[in-house]
Amino acid sequence: MQILLDRYSSQPIYLQIRDRISKLIQVGAMQPGDRLPSIRSLAQSAQVNKLTVIEAYSVLEGDGLINARQGAGYFVSAPSATVGISSVRADAMLNSAQEVAIVETYNDSFFDSYVTSIQAQKQEGTIDFSLGFNLSGDLEDLTRIARRAMTGIADSLCGYELPQGQLNLRKQISQQLVRLGLGASPENIIVTNGSRQGLALAMQYYLKPGDWVIVESPTYFGALTILKELGTRTIGIPMRSDGMNLELLEQYLHNYRPKLIYTISTLHNPTGITTSQAHRQQLLALAEKYNCPILEDNAFEGLNFDTVPAPIKALDRADLVTYLSTFSKTLMPGLRVGYMVVTGEHYPPLLERKLHKDLHVSTVSQAVISEYLASGHFRHHLNHLRNANLYRRNTMLQALEAHMLSEVSWTIPNGGLFLWLRLPDRIQVQSLKSAASAANVLIGCGKAFFPSGQGYQAMRLNFAQKPEDITKGIAILGNLLKTM
């Protein structure tokens, strides 16, 4: 195979190889079942390091385009289960007129839904589409690595840690961010107790009671609960199929002079939408024009099936953007390790807030994640997770096609964990939720994601489930809807 590489391009070589091969597959020059050149032969013919080819092949594997067979090499995968549904339907669902939500008091459903979901996880036989994380996969490696990490930190367990977190972990995170196109030095990172703590720290830093804040509508309900506690006032800008409606955003930036924009730019929760590079540039330009900081939440970092643009933070030259992410969605929420990237004058005060809050994140959790990242298992685990989740997403899409009323529409996300479904107005999602829960199926009620607690009838379904549970659970939901 002859692969032409541009050594003067800013695009890393492994991504160039990935793009060339994925193009060959796309145009049919390589067919399902075809064997790819061995790592050694491609490294020789392209005159690159073997590690570069390995990296390119792992990304292709993560994208679901190729698969490795033990001892036999890499092969082009069969196309993922075709999904007979047009994204036009999802566009229509999101782009139909929605109103800006102006909220001075918040709805309060987080506590109930959180506790119900945690209790349900412990009940045998429940199909929980309301979960906000991956079903635990094959984490044997992690258990082994955790043991190794523990032996290495016995001494440091006896003392306190730096508030910004262990240097080794921050170095690992910084390397990981480079792969996303975000250059952040370890000195710009603060390790937090989950990204939820990062959200709270940043919101408390930028906002005071009574301030206006912009969020997407719908958005992550955990962020809304923090805003409620802070006593701020919220403007919910409707989410379109390409992201937050920027014309409306500008209008409200101009008229209300908000103090913060909260955005989930990649694999948005709950809709699964990833904004384009152009949308990111325009959003940042508006933030600059109105001097309004952005809080960019990338909780689903690394769970994309296909390439995604670099975070908005990568474009930020004026220290307007604070970036957040977490290991809750890719590894274990129970470890409670997240992090923020903060630059310029904002770093010292945010670090001080972190110190005052709880000194630092558990030394054990930090050491486990640091060791897992350093061992190289994390990248492998991510590839595996992406492949598994792509299959599960497609299983859910097929089940929906088979069992849902024709008036129900849904998004087709390029990764993450959720599908977002819009129901006909005559169906009260709360009634569906109660009926489904009686049949041992839990759903995320759309209402919780709208800043005002109002909005169209919708539900969020987590597709990272066992395929047999997906098929069974969706059939149950479909049948319930038909009777409503």
Ligand X SMILES: Cc1ncc(COP(=O)(O)O)c(C=O)c1O
Shortest CB 223 distance to ligand X, Å = 7
Shortest CB 297 distance to ligand X, Å = 5
Burial readout 334-360 (b: 16 or more C-beta within 10 A, e: otherwise):
ebbbbbbbbbeebbeebbebbeeeeeb
Cα–Cα distance list, 103 to 44, 214, 219, 456 (Å) = 61, 10, 14, 16
Please give the sequence-ordered ranges of beta strands (E in DSSP) within 327-432, or none if there are none: 338-341, 409-410, 418-422
Shortest CB 226 distance to ligand X, Å = 10
Shortest CB 196 distance to ligand X, Å = 3
Pairwise CA distance, residues 61 & 305, whole Å: 10
Q: Decide whether 62 or 272 has the Cβ nearer to ligand X.
A: 272
Pairwise CA distance, residues 301 & 330, whole Å: 8
Residue 408 is encoded by which pair of tokens? 């129900």
Shortest CB 106 distance to ligand X, Å = 17
Pairwise CA distance, residues 198 & 340, whole Å: 6
Q: Decide whether 297 or 371 has the Cβ nearer to ligand X.
A: 297
Shortest CB 246 distance to ligand X, Å = 20
Contact residues for 154 (Cβ-Cβ < 8 A; gap 6+)? none
Contacting positions for ligand X (CB under 6 A) = 132, 194-196, 220, 222, 264, 269, 297, 299, 326, 328, 333, 338
Q: Decide whether 172 or 269 has the Cβ nearer to ligand X.
A: 269
Shortest CB 414 distance to ligand X, Å = 16
Q: Decide whether 64 or 416 has the Cβ nearer to ligand X.
A: 416
Q: Decide whether 21 or 461 has the Cβ nearer to ligand X.
A: 461
Cα 298–chain centre separation: 6
The answer to whether 293 and 263 have CB atoms below 8 angstroms apart is no
Residue with the CB atom nearest ligand X in the bound state = 194
| Residue found under tokens 């169906």 | 427
Q: Decide whether 128 or 297 has the Cβ nearer to ligand X.
A: 297
Cα–Cα distance list, 273 to 11, 242, 255, 341, 468 (Å) = 24, 7, 27, 22, 26
Shortest CB 326 distance to ligand X, Å = 3
Shortest CB 324 distance to ligand X, Å = 7
Task: Find the angle CA(137)-CA(140)-CA(144) to the nearest 5 degrees.
Answer: 145
Q: Decide whether 110 or 256 has the Cβ nearer to ligand X.
A: 110
Cα 444–chain centre separation: 17
Q: Decide whether 126 or 195 has the Cβ nearer to ligand X.
A: 195
Q: Could you tell me which of 97, 429, 410 has the C-alpha nearest to residue 273?
A: 410
Q: Decide whether 74 or 220 has the Cβ nearer to ligand X.
A: 220
Number of H helices, E strands in the chain: 16, 17
